Amino acid sequence: MSVIGVIGAGVMGVGVAQNLASTGHDVVLVDKDEKTLAAALATIERNSRMSRLMGGPALDADEILSRITTAVGAAGAAKAEIVIENVTENWDVKREVYETLDAECGPDTVFVVNTSAIPITKVAAVTGRPDKVVGVHFMNPVPAKPVVELIPGFHTSPETVERTKDLLHAMGKKAVHVKDSCGFISNRVLMLTVNEAAFLVHEGVADAASVDEVFRGCFGHPMGPLETADLIGVDTILYSVEVLYEHYADSKYRPCPLLKQMTDAGLHGRKSGRGFYTYDSN
């Protein structure tokens, strides 16, 4: 069976690796240090054991972990047939990752860009294989979200799209095709909503709980925009809004100063224990 490389062992990488392993794929999970990888495996084990309790399917945590190996550095994914990248929404970081992957991986390896905003053609341009680079915007939490955005770049070949669709189908995902446009469908709308909700708190119009209560109670949303920000990561929200602002040069994407302050203060949401809300570390 072919191996799927997963680059980045943060929130999204953990979800992608678990989803792949639970659907029968062998995975090599890659990050920059052993501590991060050990924490990722512990999270996958915990999430797998709790899946049934959280409304998901019953999963065999031991079997899932048996399909996942780990490696420090991009060279660990050198033999992967498909590599799914999940690093932070920071262009300088992503660019370095892809330049390294391009040098380490075989010429037939497909690169899947898991991004919420960065154009796929921009990523493909720093590789020597633009026809084998395609975007897939996975939603968080990955194992529980059945729909993804599938974004071919300017040079992405039909064969690359089909290979990626086959993998997504095997993962239990429905792919919605989107043209390569910064922010795609979901984040062109979601990031504006979250950013404006942050402005409401920043300006003292309402507190976070009141903003979210209106969205849940009036519009039937299961989560309010600021709860969603904490789930995704306040820092990730900020980076995504900054990408939109830079790309479109449109003032409607001007990042809320509160998002910048919270990111600088380490208030990144659930993953740090505090964001717009405070979370139990246990």
Residue whose pair of structure tokens reads 């075989």 in the numeric block: 106
- 145 assigned to a ligand binding site: no
Question: Is 221 assigned a catalytic role?
Answer: no
In 79-198, which ranges are E strands?
Answer: 82-85, 110-113, 133-137, 147-152, 174-177
- 8 assigned to a ligand binding site: yes
Whole-angstrom CA distances from 279 to 50, 198, 222, 233 are 18, 19, 18, 13
Give SS3 for 82: strand
- 10 assigned to a ligand binding site: yes
Point out the catalytic residue in the list 22, 114, 137, 242: 137
- 13 assigned to a ligand binding site: yes
- 31 assigned to a ligand binding site: yes
- 174 assigned to a ligand binding site: no
Question: Is 282 assigned a catalytic role?
Answer: no
For β-strands 147-152 and 133-137, DSSP reports them as antiparallel
In 32-115, which ranges are E strands?
Answer: 68-72, 82-85, 110-113
Question: Is 213 assigned a catalytic role?
Answer: no
- 9 assigned to a ligand binding site: yes
- 260 assigned to a ligand binding site: no
Question: Is 19 assigned a catalytic role?
Answer: no
Point out the catalytic residue in the list 51, 86, 187, 240: 187
Point out the catalytic residue in the list 22, 47, 48, 116: 116
Q: 173, 196 in Cβ contact below 8 A? A: no
Q: 135, 183 in Cβ contact below 8 A? A: no
Residues near 118 by beta carbon (within 8 Å), at least 6 away in sequence: 89, 91, 94, 182, 243
- 11 assigned to a ligand binding site: yes
Cα–Cα distance, 96 to 112 (Å, whole number): 15
- 32 assigned to a ligand binding site: no
Point out the catalytic residue in the list 85, 149, 227, 242: 149
Cα–Cα distance, 114 to 116 (Å, whole number): 7
Residues labelled as active-site residues: 116, 137, 149, 187
Q: Which residues are annotated as a binding site?
A: 8-13, 31, 89, 94, 116, 140, 271
Q: Which residues are annotated as a binding site for NAD(+)?
A: 8-13, 31, 89, 94, 116, 140, 271
